[in-house]
Amino acid sequence: MKSPIRIAVTGATGQICYNLLYRIAAGDMFGNDQPVILQLHDITDAQPMFDGIVMELYDCAFPLLTEIITTDNSEVAFNDVDIALLVGARPRGENMERKDLLAANGPIFIEQGRAINAVAKRSVKVLVVGNPANTNAYITMKNAPDIDPNNFSAMLRLDHNRALSQVALKLRVPVADVKKMIIWGNHSTTQFPDLSHATVGNNKVTSLLKDSAWIENHFIPVVQKRGAAIIEARRGKSSAASAANAIINHMQDWVFGTAEDNWVSMGVPSNNSYGIPNGVIYSFPVTCQNGQYKIVQGLDLSQLDKERMHNSYQELIAEQEAIKHLLTA
């Protein structure tokens, strides 16, 4: 039997985690031969909620679940962890503008970044899900200077999966046959869902689509606005099961590698690829191998593609501007 890996999860009493923790403990993320220790974090007021969650984890009698730790202390949560899933965040309140949300979340991710820097394994892989995910990941990374920046990522996988499914439904093909999808940019409505490189078998998706207007009129807006559509359809609740599933997909590919003929979208530190300057967490197409990701290079982009990508980059710069005072304080 392998020795257990330590997985920290924040916002662990929230609705995404109610869909996530049981799947991790069942082996869906790291395989059915990998024991796990769950180090669950939430705010002090949420601690009583852990009672039922932990009872249910025990009641599943998961063979792989070695230990459960619950805490409101970030250094306890991140102590010696291999994986950190930062799901918790302040929800957007009524009348709260995006910049207020950024300011409210900044201190959370500053504190968590510092705790990761202090106590996590140096090889820890960090995924930020809590919104605004890209900028929260940037804040976390900036506050963990002793950890390789390449170990920080933001979740765009839900958007990527949504895009795959839209194409599969349109072309009536199995979703697993749709490959090489891309989400560029920010996890927000400025993201650019790009199917111009996507394939089904040996064919480009663009050559299979009979009505090309569908891309502009349906595909792009539906993927960009899917989060809001889910909230409406779920009478006010945001994506939870699909978000948890995307977390599993993201970590699985990062740790075990992507399939040879495919890539996935991950929010990662920009490195001047495709004209996106250093210094933001931006979603690119990546391949993963041996626990490392590489941004796919050499893709042709039209002028319009570049403008869309730049637009999302500008939004990330504006988000950083809104929290700059917190980082220099």
Of these, 46, 119, 208, 296, which contacts ligand NAX (CB under 6 A)?
A: 46
Q: Closest Cα partner for 280 from 151, 155, 141, 80?
A: 141
Q: 3-class DSSP state for residue 282?
A: strand
d(Cα 27, Cα 20) in Å, to the nearest integer? 11
Q: Is 5 in the site for ligand NAX (CB under 6 A)?
A: no
Q: Smallest distance, Å, CB 290 to ligand NAX?
A: 25
Which tokens belong to 242?
């699909």
For ligand NAX, the binding residue among 2, 31, 43, 63 (CB under 6 A) is 43
Sole binder of ligand NAX in the list 7, 8, 9, 16 (CB under 6 A): 16
Q: Does 91 bind ligand NAX (CB under 6 A)?
A: yes
Q: Does residue 255 touch ligand NAX according to CB under 6 A?
A: no
Judged by beta carbon, residue 89 or residue 141, the one nearer ligand NAX is: 89
Closer by beta carbon to ligand NAX, 134 or else 199: 134
3-state secondary structure of 68: strand
42 in contact with ligand NAX (CB under 6 A): yes
Looking at the chain, the number of H-run helices and the number of E-run strands are 12, 14
Nearer to ligand NAX, 74 or 151 (CB): 74
User: How many residues belong to the site for ligand NAX (CB under 6 A)?
Assistant: 26
* Smallest gap from residue 211 Cβ to ligand NAX (A): 29
- Cβ atoms 170, 187 nearer than 8 A: no
Question: 71, 131, 151, 199: which one contacts ligand NAX (CB under 6 A)?
Answer: 131
Q: Taking contact as CB under 6 A, which single stretch among the options 117-125, 127-135, 174-182, 250-258 is the one that binds ligand NAX?
A: 127-135
116 binds ligand NAX per the rule CB under 6 A: no
**Quick check: 243 binds ligand NAX (CB under 6 A)?**
yes
- C-alpha torsion 132→93→311→227, nearest 10: 80
Give the other-Cβ count within 10 Å of 261's Cβ.
Answer: 8
Burial of 165 (0-12, 13-18, 19+ CB in 10 A): middle
Q: Which residues contact 209 (CB under 8 A, 6 or more apart)?
A: 170, 171, 215
User: Which residues within the stretch 182-201 sit at the binding site for ligand NAX (CB under 6 A)?
Assistant: 187
Cβ nearer to ligand NAX, comparing 42 with 194: 42
Q: Choose between 238 and 311: whose C-beta lies nearer to ligand NAX.
A: 238
Q: State whether the Cα torsion 158-135-314-149 is positive or negative.
A: negative
Contact between residue 152 and residue 140 where contact means Cβ atoms under 8 Å apart: yes
User: Between residues 83 and 108, which has the closer beta carbon with respect to ligand NAX?
Assistant: 108
Tell me the catalytic residues: 187
Q: Is 239 among the residues that bind ligand NAX (CB under 6 A)?
A: yes
d(CA 6, CA 66): 10
φ/ψ bin of 285: left (φ > 0), alpha (ψ from -120 to 50), beta (otherwise): beta
User: If binding is defined by CB under 6 A, does position 15 make contact with ligand NAX?
Assistant: yes
Q: Which is nearer to ligand NAX, 158 or 223 (CB)?
A: 158
Burial class (CB in 10 A: 0-12, 13-18, 19+), 226: buried
Stretch that binds ligand NAX, among 128-136, 176-184, 191-199, 275-283 (CB under 6 A): 128-136
Contacts with ligand NAX, residue ranges (CB under 6 A) = 10-11, 13-16, 42-43, 46, 87-91, 108, 129-131, 133, 155, 158, 187, 238-240, 243
